[in-house]
Amino acid sequence: MKCPFCNSTLHKVLDKRETKTGNSIRRRRECLSCSRRFTTFERIDLGNIMVVKRDQSRQAFDREKIKTGILKSTEKRPVTMQQVESMIDSIESTIRKEYDKEVHSLEIGTLIMKELKNIDPVAYIRFASVYKDFRDIDEFVNEIHGLQNKGGPFHDESL
């Protein structure tokens, strides 16, 4: 393990915690050369699970792609990195439990939307607008009305 700031391999672990889902271990480290602190995660490798894309091509599961999508939808929203990591852990856990060798990208998108809907409805709408490929404003409005009608975070009796 190299320090991301000075590339030194000399560091000490200050704190070690298991994540809520139990799928990874978080370690807070301090570099003994430059004294800066950084966090590392130890996770189970899901490299053997393939993601089936919409065009039926396949690629290895990549946690970072999920993180990128979530971060884009939560940009400038009150969502912490801890919440993002927790969402990704939950999605990864579900994939590991429910799928053996392959998972369709549509299933991953659905899992992401489910997590976002619980954390931040605006981020959910942002993600859904790209994922569901809204073609016009009516589809966008219908999605918001769907949230309102289910008594979700957008629910307002006056509307």
pLDDT tens, position by position, 77-98: 999 998 999 999 899 889 988 9
Domain membership flag for residue 7: yes
- Residues 45-69 have pLDDT tens digits of 655 789 999 899 999 888 899 999 9
61 in the same domain as 23: no
Per the DSSP assignment, residues forming a β-bridge with 17 are 26
143 in the same domain as 113: yes
53 in the same domain as 23: no
Angle, vertex CA 105, rays to CA 52 and CA 70, nearest 5: 145
137 in the same domain as 101: yes
Domain membership flag for residue 142: yes
95 in the same domain as 54: yes
- The predicted model scores a pTM of 0.66
As a whole number of angstroms, the distance between CA 124 and CA 115 comes to 8
Structure tokens at 48: 């053997």
Counted domains in the chain: 2
Segments forming the whole domain that contains residue 102: 45-149
Alpha helix locations (H) across 5-159? 63-73, 81-98, 105-119, 121-131, 137-149
